[in-house]
Amino acid sequence: MKIGFIGLGNMGAPMAANLATAGHAVTGYDTAGVSVDGVTPAASAAEAARGAEVVVTMLPNGDILRQVAAEIVPAMAPGAVFLDCSTVDVESARAVAEEARAAGLSALDAPVSGGVGGAEAGTLTFMVGGDAAGFEKARSLFDVMGRKAVHCGPSGNGQAAKICNNMILGATMVVTCEAFALADKLGLDRQAMFDVVSTSSGSSWSMNTYCPAPGVGPTSPADNDYTPGFAADLMLKDLRLAMQAAEAADADTPMGAAAMRLYEAFVEREDGAGRDFSAMLPRFERRGHG
């Protein structure tokens, strides 16, 4: 398949490389001018998109997505698929999809879960909004870049699924870290705490799979000095998107809002920038110690 790929950063580069390795003809563009093995470089986003059956975008935010869409939609052939894998606000996703549909394109918003490791290994999960025909056309690409793709409904629903999932994840990680810090102060051994909670009603992905306490449970970023698997900065971005969506939809999300405020303080006023989002645990350990 002839594919254009725009945005060859930490996530986009390995995704594009996997598509090329699978035998697709991939033309790529990034403002930083990076080169990716097997990917033919283009001089502009429009050049990467021209003649492609599917154009994949992996961009930092909704404003940049809107700018790129304005450039590539006129260059794309009717019937082509505009597959956006960025994590952006729901309104931008829906606006860009509408622009693409008006030009005779299929539009999919397909944010991912799995981080850079998942992008490199081709084990991402895609949460996809948009038309069913576009989803079917892109399915073989999802199979190369990821392990699972879920069609969540019309345009914007992929972003909605991503931010709802990550709002749960952010709030759950905060309370897991709080609970470990409380257990410490109550004299409860961390291994005993893990053994109880991981098999009881308090269990969660944050506890069982990604435990924020070093040396407890399966290996996680906590065992590597909180070098990010998923950076706190990115969790803050996703929580802000969730709160933006909640405000637009008039949804009541007090726990999500509390998690956002804590990650805001952690990333912007404390030492959380560039650390894993589970590094909240040392933050809570320090509280009450002077």
Alpha-carbon distance of 47 to 290, in angstroms, equals 58
The structure tokens listed for 273 are: 């920038």
Does residue 290 carry a pLDDT above 50? no
The tens digit of pLDDT for each residue in 161-191 reads 999 999 999 999 999 999 999 999 999 999 9
Alpha-carbon distance of 30 to 48, in angstroms, equals 10
Q: Quick one: CATH architecture of 160-286?
A: Orthogonal Bundle (1.10)
Sole residue written with tokens 């645990």: 281
Q: What residue ranges do the domains of the chain occupy?
A: 2-154, 160-286
Find the catalytic residue in 2, 137, 148, 162: 162
The CATH superfamily label for domain 2-154 reads NAD(P)-binding Rossmann-like Domain (3.40.50.720)
- Confidence band, pLDDT 50/70/90 cuts, at residue 289: low
162: annotated active-site residue: yes
Same fold, 2-154 and 160-286: no
The tens digit of pLDDT for each residue in 96-118 reads 999 999 999 999 999 999 988 99
pTM of whole model > 0.85?
Answer: yes
